[in-house]
Each structure stands twice: as C-alpha cells, then as structure tokens.
Structure 1
Amino acid sequence: MKFSLILLLAGASVSVQRGPAQAPLAPAPLHIQMPTPEGGARGDPKLTGKARLPGFAPELADMPRISSPKGWGGQTMRQALAGLAGSRQNTRQSARWVYAKTLISQDRHAEALGVLDVMLQDDPDLALVANYELARGVVLAALARPEEALSALDRDELVGNTEACFWRARAFAQSGLNDDALREFGCARAALAARTGPQRVPFLSEMAEAALAKQQPELALRWLAAAPDGDATANIMRGRAHVAMSDYGKARIRLGRAERSGDEAERYQARLALIELGVAQRTMGLKEARREVDRIRFVWRGGPIEEQALRLSYSLAKKAGDARGSIAAGATLIRYFELGSELPPLVADVQSRLAALLAPGNKMPLSEAAGIYWDYRDLMPAGGEGDRLVAQLADRLQASGLYARAAELLEHQLRHRALDIAQGPLSVRVATLHVLAGRPDRALAAIRDTEGTIFPQQMLWDRNRIMAVALHQLGKTEAALSVLDDVPDASGLRTELLWKRRDWGRLVAESAASLPPADSLNEVRQAVVLRHAIALGMLGREEELARLRTRYQAGFSGLPTAPAFDLLTKDAAGVEAESLSRAMSAIPSASPAGIYADLLDVAPAPLKSK
C-alpha cells in the first residue's frame, strides 16, 4: 500500500508483466514508466516551463481562502488516502491537496512538504496561488525554516489572513526578528484562539522569547497565561520571565517543575535557566556555572538548546572577564544561528573584543594573537579599522622573523578583503614575505593571482621587481631578467642577478652605462666598479681595464678597497689566483640591488615530502 501511494504521489503509471506460463515461480518484474509531457523525458517543470498535470491551480485559486486551523482538516487520514489511491490523472492534484491538508492538520509537516513539492513539480503555476503558498509557508515555519517560510507567506493576498499572520509571527521569531514577530500578534490572535491549549504552546513560547529579547517579561507572562499551567515548555519561558523580573522564588518553582516533568530537551532547557538563576542569585559561582554549561554544550549539539547554552556561555564569559571565551561563544552564535536584530550588536561586541586582544599593547604572546586572528578572521572589523589591526599584527610577526605567518595573514587579507587597486601594494608585501620565508612559489602566486586588476604603472613595476626576485630564487634567472626588461631604474637589480649568475659579458654591458662618477665612491659604487673590473678581467679585456684604472685610480686612493682595485685593474696575466680571491673578498657587501639584495640571498625552503 505504501509503495502504491509513493507511485501515486509521483504520478507514475504502473504495469506488471508476468513471466512465461512455464515459469510460474519466477518473480514478476515491475516496470515503472514515468509519463512525461509530449512523451519526452521527465524534467524539471521550472526548466521546461510546462505543467505535466495542469488545471488544478485555477481550481485551487477559486476555493475559499484558508484562514484558521480548521481549514486544514475536513477528512480523516483514511479518507484522504483512499481518495489519493482512487484518483486519476485529471484528479490527482486535487487528491494530493486533500492529503497534504490532512497531514498539516495532524502536524505531519515534513510529509506534507514532500507532497506539496511533488504538486509544484507537476504544475509550477501553483506557486501563484495563495492557498498553496500558505500551506507551504505553514509547513516550512513548522519545520523551523523561517527564511523560506517568510518568502512563501509574503503575498498581498495573505496580509490580513489570521492563519498566515500566526505562522509569519513564528517565522519572524525563529529568525530573531522580534519586532516583526510582535507586530504580527494582533492579527494572529484569532488563529491562536481557534487552537487548543497544547497547540498554542509553540507559538506562545516563541512570542514570549521575542518579548524577553525586547526586555518585556510582563508581556511574555501575559501571553503565556493562555498556555496550560503544567506544560514544561511554557513553564521554562515563565521561569525565564520571572528571572528577568528578579522574582526568583516563582522562577525556581516554574523551572523546577519543567525539569521534573519535561522531556530530555526540556530538562536541559530548564537546567540552563536554573544555572542563569543561580548566577543571578549568587548561589552558584561563575566557575561552577561555566563548567556546567560546558558540560551541556558537550552532550547536546544544535537547535535552541545549544543556542541557549551559547548565549549563557557568552554572558558568563563576559562576567568573568574572559575575552577569549566570550569571543568563542559569540562567534559560534554569529556563524550558525539566526539572530535577527540581535546580530549587529553582537557582531560589534565580538569585534571590539577581538580588536582589544590583537592590539599591539596587549600582553598576549604573539603566536597566540596570530592564532586568534586566524580562528576569527571572518569576524574582523570591516574597513580601515580591521585593515589596521591586520597590518599591525603582520608587522609584529615580521619583526619577530615569523615571515610565513605574516604572509599567510596578509594573504587572507589580499584574497578576501582587499579590492581593486588596494591589491597592488598588498600583493607586493605578501610576495616579499613569502620570499623571506623561502617560498618563492607562493610569492609568484600572490602576484599572478591578482593580475586581473588594472594597476598604475609604478605599481606594476614594483610587482615585476619582486616577481623577478622570486623567479631567481626558483632558479629561473633568465625569466627574471626578462621580467625586468621594461622596468626603469632596474639596472641595479639586473646587475645583481647577472653577478650571481656569473654572466660576465652581459654584466659588463649592463653595468657600463651605470658606472658612477669617480669623485664620490660610497660602498655601493665601489662594489659596482670592482664587479665591473672583475667581469672585464674574466673576459680578458685589457684595454677596457686600463681605461677603468685611469678613470677611478684617484677615487679609490685612500679607501680600504684601493688594494683590491689596484690588483684587479693591473695586468690580469700576472694576477695569482690567491691574490684574486683576496681581492674579490674585499669587495664591499653593499649591493646595487638595494632593498632587493637581501631577498636575493634567501635560500628557498626545502620542499616537504608528501
């Protein structure tokens, strides 16, 4: 019977073919053929734009509008199932509708949603009918899917509908939109009155929750008066309202009753409220309260209980002055729960606590601060304040030699926060830190992954310079030199690359145009001239060496490098290897590559074996 109903809901036609007469014991194969529009393959009606079972949408639109819980009843489940089983193709949608309403009347909302989805697949026009969207909104709100529920119930035809108001109020409360939920109460009053006592409890509890969030415990108690006196859920809300009013005796009684009579979930909810009451009365210390809340969070995950536990954990951590604990609880609430109007102030509070922990003056160890940033990087303040905190933390990491950590921190900023032209200087810094960490491949990725942005010319040149350094670290010096072809003022970096490569011919050609004046030789200029002399000597270009000697001999006079210059520029044939080695070691360590010289000397980190 159940399988036949599934086939009817899906709209399948069933044919059973028996095996040959001489094999009566063989099982009969079941062939299910899914009828489709125009005989084609069954597809999504939303994509094809065709209804497989059209015609019921106008019929449903002509039916009286459902405006109370009585509108979902009318037939027993047996009658609804019999109607569905006896339906034909032209009456199947109508039978499904009766079946869906009967399921709603019996609070079997998940099953009702399945039926409604099948109906919509077979006729997309149903989404234009108020009664259908009301039914869909009801089951989605009952299943705690508030955003979808509100989307279904947001129709002009349902604005004053008391049943729609009832479920809209619940969906708003579930989303944390407490003001909107409270505004719907007046319209929903008639639908509430049409329900029995136990049926009212979920609605009244959610409304009471909204009232408590708005610091209106008296209003919450007035509404809860319509709920049965012994209902555990209602008593939990009554107890919380009494706590908010500092009426602790009544609160203990209500919460104690709920803890005794409720199911497992209600007992945990009551226990959390009693912990809050104990802290308020100072009969339970903060340490004990936090330990008890942590225990409940360990054994229960998800839903309103975990949300309540997190809220209490957040509040207790703040009272205890535990910034990290409050951030952890607040971040979990923000990431995984619908908070509605409570979200902006909670985000602001968590961000302010993060900023205080990450500020340079905080005494927290740098490694812990970096870990906190990484754990909560999605909650960092937006705009300049957040960028400043990240930059300050990166500066501290870099100053401590933690280049890889600093690079990863700023790389997240580069890929997820920086926009357009701001990616230019940030990409250069990230690449520089990766080079310092011995990860030239990551440096190249930081540059290449941000090539889609149009940068000013100067910024492009800066990016090319650090790219050349990374390429050299990867052993691709020729590619590095090619990157620098169109970069002005890159002669110093190019000559450094050629010097390290021992490319004497190109080094002479590159450095000849940038030889300094002879009358002011600082360490960098001395290095340029001496390297040029070595290259000429290696090439055996004696005449050019002689001219270099004539030009700079007076300038080197009296300098510590004068002996080296004298040795390198006299007759190269008479220079002994040992003397040449001493001369080369006397060349100043200052480099014409400037700020890039130290980067070029960083050895790439060894690759990690998998």
Structure 2
Amino acid sequence: MRTLFLALAAGATTTAPTVAPHGTPAPAATPGAAATPHAAATPAATIPSVALPRFAATLAQMPMITGGDGWSGVTGTEAWHQLATATPDNRQSIRWNYAKGLIRTERGGEAMGVLEAMRLADPDLALVAPFQLARGAALTLLGRDAEAVESLSSAELVGNAEACAWRMRALAHSGAAPEAVGQIECARGAINARVPRDRVPFMLAAAGAAIDIGQPQPALQWLQLFSDRNPDANLLRGRALLAQKDLAGARLRFERAALTGSPEVKAGAKLGAIEVAIAGHSVSPPDAIKQLDALRFGWRGGAVERRALTIEYGLAKEAQDLRAELKSGATLLRYFKMGAQAGPMFAELQQTLNAVLAPESGVPLPQAAGLYWDFRELAPAGGDGDVLANRLADRLQAAGLYARAAELLSYQLTQRAQDVAQGPLSVRVAMLQILANRPDLALKALQTTEQPSYSEQMRWDRKRMEAVALHRLGKDEAAAAALDGVPDGAAVRAEIHWRTQDWGAFVTESEKSLPGAKTAMAAPQQAAVLRYAVALAMLNREDKLRGLHGRYATAFKGLPTAGAFDMLTASIDRIDPAKLDAAIGAIPEASPAGSIGDLLDAGG
C-alpha cells in the first residue's frame, strides 16, 4: 500500500527532481556564500509540478458503462506496478482502469481516492458521464447516499441501466424506498446480466425497498434466487412474511437469520422478533418500547435503528407516552433523513411538546421542564417559541425553581435572542440567577450580552441588576460605581448601605430621596423615613432627629407605625431600650428601592 500511495501522490502533481550524475563536480561556490550565516539551512528547491495531459475528452469517447461487465479493471500488485511505472501520458488511463477494478470488487473507499486524484489532475472529468457513474458507485459503496444519487442523476445517466442499479441501491440504503422501487424496472437489465454473486447487494436492496412500501410478494419472488440458509435473505423473508401476517413463518425466518448472520443481521432479526410480538399482541406497548430501547442500546445507526425508532414512535403515540414519543421522534429527525415525512413529523412533535408544557397537561412541572430542555430544538421558531419558553419559565419561577428557569432562559438568551432583544431577557436571566443565589452567573449573563445598541432605559435596568449581583458577591464599592448615572441609583446605594450598616453613607444617599411631608405615606415611604431615623440615632444626630419629627409627625399620625416613629425620633436620652427593638421591628419590610431592593436579600 505504501508503494501505491507514493505512486498516486507523486503522479498527481509532481515529477522527480533532476539529480547530477555521480562524480559530476558541484557548481563553484558563489563568492561570499560561505560567510552567509544561514547558507547551510537554505531549503531545497520546490519540486516542479507537471500537468498531466487532459483525459476528460478521451474518457468521454470511450464506450459507456451500461452493465456490470463495464467495471473490468486491474487491481492488486499488477495495478501498483502499472501506477509506479506510468508515464504522464498514460497515468490517468491506468488510474481509470484501477478505479473500475476497485468498484468491481466493492472497495469504495480506495476507488473514491483514485477518482479524486484523477479529478484533481483534470477537473473537467466531473462533467463526463462515465466518471460521474464511477463516482456515484464509489459513493454508494461508502454509504454517502445523497452524494451518490446526485452524481448518478445527470441527464446522460437517467436512463442508463447501470446508473439506475446503483441509484436504486443508494436510495434503498438511505430509506427512500418508493424512489428506490421506481428505479427497479430501469435497473433490471443491468442486475440480471451480472453473475449471481454480483447480483446479491442489488437484489437485497430491491427486495428491502419493496417490503418497505408494502409489496412483500415481489420481494419473496426475488429472494427465491438466494439459498434457503442465506441469513441476509432470511431476514428479508421474515420481514416480507410479517407484512403478510404470517407471524409463525416470520418468527422462524428471524430466528434462522440470527443464528448465522452478521451483527447487523442479528440486530435486524432481534428487531423482527419484537415486531412479531407486537403484531401478535404478546407484548404490551410499554414493554415493547423498553425492548426497542434495549435493542438500540446495543445497535446504533443504519436501517435497523431507523426502523426501531419508527416503530417506537408509533407505539408511543398509541400509548400516549409523551416522553417516548418526543425521544424517538426527535432522534429520527436529528440523525436520519426523513424526506417528505420530516415536515408532518416535526409538526406533530411540536404539538406534543406544547401539550406537555401546558399547565393543564398533568405532567409534573420539573418533568415538563426536563422534557423541554431535552427536546428544545422542537420548540417553534420566532415569537411562538419565545412565548412557550417564557410561560414555562413563569411557572418555574412561581414554583421557586429559579435555577431551572434561569437555565431555560439562558438558552433562549444565547441561542435564539438577537441584538436588542437580548436586553430585557438578560435582565430577567440575571434576576433569576440572583434569586437562585448564583450572582456570578448573573454577572456573566449581563457581560456576555453587552452591546452599544441598547436604549438608555435598558442600560439602566442592566446596571441595577449588575449592582445587585456585585453586592451579593461582596463587592459593594463596585456595585456603587455601577450605579453612577442611573436615575434611582442613590436609592439602591442607600439599600446597600442599610444592609451593611454604613450609617453615614446611608444618611448621605437617602436624604435627598425622603418623601415630602404631605406625601401619602405608603409602606415604602414609611420605611424610608423610619430607616433614616434609625441611622440618625446611630450617629447621635439628635438635632436632625428633632427636625425629622417635626417634619413628619402629622404624616404619621394615625398610621400603624406612628408609635415606632415617635420612639425613633424621640430625644436619645428618652429612648427606652426595651421598646427600641419593637420599634425597629415595626419598620415596614417594603423596600424604598422597590423590587431591586428586595433582590439584595433574595436567595441568601
């Protein structure tokens, strides 16, 4: 293989460098060259590339491949020898013969490598029908079905029997059974002309596609060409008999296939046995779903897993198992090409997700949140998806599940919201993180969504939330700095100073925001005045206490907090320590800074 690799690589773009004959004197050194510090490290000259003669026209003039006999070519040691001794004039022709031989022996990866080397040397080969056919065949062998079908679908190949055969095989492998069956009539001549051994993969693909579209009888007739002990054929015979409701016959064929088949055949046979049990009502839908899950645990990918998921999806809908329905349907959409089925299935899954998240669904809230998180790619796009997520977040927040709500909206913030729409969402995410006692994540949500296009009001909202997070992290100076220029920044700073018992700073920040003497004294206004009185008392500012009493005595008259006001604003020497605690306890809990003030203590 090393010889082959070197022959292909060297032939693609290079030729051997010219070497002076043995004994030829070296060129005289240029004066001063020896004194050059890096002279010894000078890299060798680049090997010159040689453009191979164009081969596209020559290949286009060759007879078209219309059957299996068109893949005659040299492989093995003889092919390596020919490639190693090829000249530029015949290298592409030798490569072509080698690629055909590799396709005949179903070595798709190696064939693709040779064809790619040919295309790099002559890009026009991609326009030539025989090259397109060979490339499509190699891609089919590699399981790259969509690319294979594209390469095999040029105008010149539409009616070509050999192209139809490979196209049918690729379509059947991709799960596009109706399209694959549509190619069988065109491919019949090319398949039948092959020797029995070479027909096998094409006949199996045709039979499988026919069974998939509900035509088991033709499939059984085609499968008569195979030995009764052939495990691949027995697997398909079992599926065909199952489609004809012959459960006993199907079970026997699946059991026989499982004895001698490949791992994939054994997995398919196990799936067939589960299908027989489902059809015979010998297993309940929940138990069948468990068995399908166990099967998929040991086998991933290909037609077997796709069929298992399709069956599980149908059972889950029948049993109204919302989690299983979402899991199987989402897996199908994520990892398999569903073709025309994708749209209707996606719409069904969106409806299921909406039903799960509805408050009246009966699904416990933590479970509903988990389902949304696991299958969030199924949520509707745009505004409908945002409304769905926000409603769920509202329910989580109302239930006190702040961390779950924050995680849900963080996904919306980073993956779905764009530009200025991130502003209000970032504030809510930060608030939820603070309520969940995660102020560091609140800061991260704000910092990662910073941008200059926010409105002034939005910037102020974000700064208030940033200040709360910084306070909760013990960074009060940074919190105070964040509030610079924010209209009610003084009230928030005063809240921070109240909690840290920095009485002097509290008096300074809150003095200007005290309510007017004739203002209606609701709970926040009462709290502002009473807190101010406590701070003055702590600072022994009796002069200001007298002034405060004279200013608000009338306003507090008749209020439940009137006694606390009189106690806190009395002369310091007249304050009764026994009653002081009760007076402070009577201060309303409503924060003068509103909801921001309440957040300063939230989650602690």
**What is the alpha-carbon root mean square deviation over aligned residues?**
3.7
Q: Tell whether the 8 Å contact from 1:351 to 1:381 is kept in structure 2 after alignment.
A: yes
> What is residue 200 of structure 1 aligned with on the other side?
199
> What is residue 35 of structure 1 aligned with on the other side?
none
Q: Tell whether the 8 Å contact from 2:145 to 2:174 is kept in structure 1 after alignment.
A: yes
Question: Pairwise mapping of residues 271-350 of structure 1 onto structure 2 (< 5 A)?
Answer: 271-283=270-282, 286=285, 289-290=288-289, 292-350=291-349
Distance 1:227-1:381 versus aligned 2 partners, 3 A rule: farther
Say which is worse superposed, 50-59 or 187-196, in terms of deviation: 50-59
Paired residue type of 2:527: A
Distance 1:579-1:52 versus aligned 2 partners, 3 A rule: farther
Give the deviation of 1:521 after TM superposition.
Answer: 1.6
Give the deviation of 1:258 after TM superposition.
Answer: 4.1
Distance 1:285-1:51 versus aligned 2 partners, 3 A rule: farther
Give the deviation of 1:593 after TM superposition.
Answer: 1.6
Q: Tell whether the 8 Å contact from 1:212 to 1:241 is kept in structure 2 after alignment.
A: yes
Give the deviation of 1:435 after TM superposition.
Answer: 0.2
> What is residue 40 of structure 1 aligned with on the other side?
46
Deviations 1:333-364 (A, max 9, x none): 33333333333334344444444444323444
Question: Pairwise mapping of residues 94-105 of structure 1 onto structure 2 (< 5 A)?
Answer: 94-105=93-104
Where in structure 2 are there 5+ consecutive unaligned residues? 20-43
Q: Is 1:239 paired with 2:238?
A: yes
Q: Tell whether the 8 Å contact from 2:168 to 2:179 is kept in structure 1 after alignment.
A: yes
> What is residue 108 of structure 1 aligned with on the other side?
107
Paired residue type of 1:403: Y
Say which is worse superposed, 576-585 or 398-407, in terms of deviation: 576-585
Give the deviation of 1:39 after TM superposition.
Answer: 5.2
Distance 1:130-1:541 versus aligned 2 partners, 3 A rule: farther
**Separation in 1, partners of 2:418, 2:324:** 32
Deviations 1:280-327 (A, max 9, x none): 133555566556545543443433333333333444444555433343
Give the deviation of 1:592 after TM superposition.
Answer: 0.8
| Partner SS state of residue 516, structure 1 | coil
Say which is worse superposed, 469-478 or 510-519, in terms of deviation: 510-519
Q: Taking every aligned residue pair, what percent have the same amino acid on both sides?
A: 48
Paired residue type of 1:594: G
**Separation in 1, partners of 2:474, 2:377:** 37
Paired residue type of 1:40: T
Paired residue type of 1:228: F
**Separation in 2, partners of 1:291, 1:156:** 48
Give the deviation of 1:599 after TM superposition.
Answer: 1.1
> What is residue 426 of structure 1 aligned with on the other side?
425
> What is residue 140 of structure 1 aligned with on the other side?
139
Distance 1:218-1:354 versus aligned 2 partners, 3 A rule: farther
Distance 1:365-1:373 versus aligned 2 partners, 3 A rule: same
Q: Tell whether the 8 Å contact from 2:83 to 2:91 is kept in structure 1 after alignment.
A: yes
Question: Pairwise mapping of residues 26-425 of structure 1 onto structure 2 (< 5 A)?
Answer: 40=46, 53=52, 55-75=54-74, 77=76, 79-217=78-216, 224=222, 228=226, 230=228, 231-248=230-247, 251=250, 255=254, 258-259=257-258, 262-283=261-282, 286=285, 289-290=288-289, 292-383=291-382, 386-425=385-424
| Partner SS state of residue 328, structure 1 | helix
Deviations 1:231-290 (A, max 9, x none): 543443343234334354664565566456644432432342233123213355556655
**Separation in 2, partners of 1:263, 1:289:** 24
Q: Tell whether the 8 Å contact from 2:3 to 2:80 is kept in structure 1 after alignment.
A: no
**Separation in 2, partners of 1:290, 1:484:** 57
Paired residue type of 2:453: I
Paired residue type of 1:114: G
> What is residue 20 of structure 1 aligned with on the other side?
none
Give the deviation of 1:102 after TM superposition.
Answer: 0.8
**Separation in 1, partners of 2:466, 2:473:** 11
**Separation in 1, partners of 2:450, 2:62:** 60
Q: Tell whether the 8 Å contact from 1:404 to 1:434 is kept in structure 2 after alignment.
A: yes
Distance 1:592-1:218 versus aligned 2 partners, 3 A rule: farther
**Separation in 2, partners of 1:153, 1:55:** 23
Paired residue type of 1:414: L
Give the deviation of 1:385 after TM superposition.
Answer: 5.1
Question: Pairwise mapping of residues 534-545 of structure 1 onto structure 2 (< 5 A)?
Answer: 534-536=534-536, 544-545=544-545
Q: Tell whether the 8 Å contact from 2:175 to 2:303 is kept in structure 1 after alignment.
A: no
Q: Tell whether the 8 Å contact from 1:217 to 1:242 is kept in structure 2 after alignment.
A: yes
Say which is worse superposed, 579-588 or 394-403, in terms of deviation: 579-588
Where in structure 1 are there 5+ consecutive unaligned residues? 18-37, 43-49, 605-610
Distance 1:596-1:554 versus aligned 2 partners, 3 A rule: same
Matched length: 574
> What is residue 561 of structure 2 aligned with on the other side?
561
Deviations 1:520-560 (A, max 9, x none): 22221111122334445566666554443322122223434
Paired residue type of 2:366: S
**Separation in 2, partners of 1:91, 1:577:** 109
Distance 1:557-1:186 versus aligned 2 partners, 3 A rule: same
| Partner SS state of residue 359, structure 2 | coil
Q: Tell whether the 8 Å contact from 2:107 to 2:141 is kept in structure 1 after alignment.
A: no
Distance 1:292-1:550 versus aligned 2 partners, 3 A rule: closer
Q: Tell whether the 8 Å contact from 1:175 to 1:339 is kept in structure 2 after alignment.
A: no
Q: Tell whether the 8 Å contact from 1:403 to 1:436 is kept in structure 2 after alignment.
A: yes
Distance 1:406-1:504 versus aligned 2 partners, 3 A rule: same
Distance 1:508-1:275 versus aligned 2 partners, 3 A rule: closer
Give the deviation of 1:104 after TM superposition.
Answer: 0.7
Q: Give the TM-score normalised by structure 2.
A: 0.81
**Separation in 1, partners of 2:212, 2:455:** 51
Q: Give the TM-score normalised by structure 1.
A: 0.81
Give the deviation of 1:591 after TM superposition.
Answer: 1.0
> What is residue 531 of structure 1 aligned with on the other side?
531
| Partner SS state of residue 327, structure 2 | helix
Paired residue type of 2:226: P
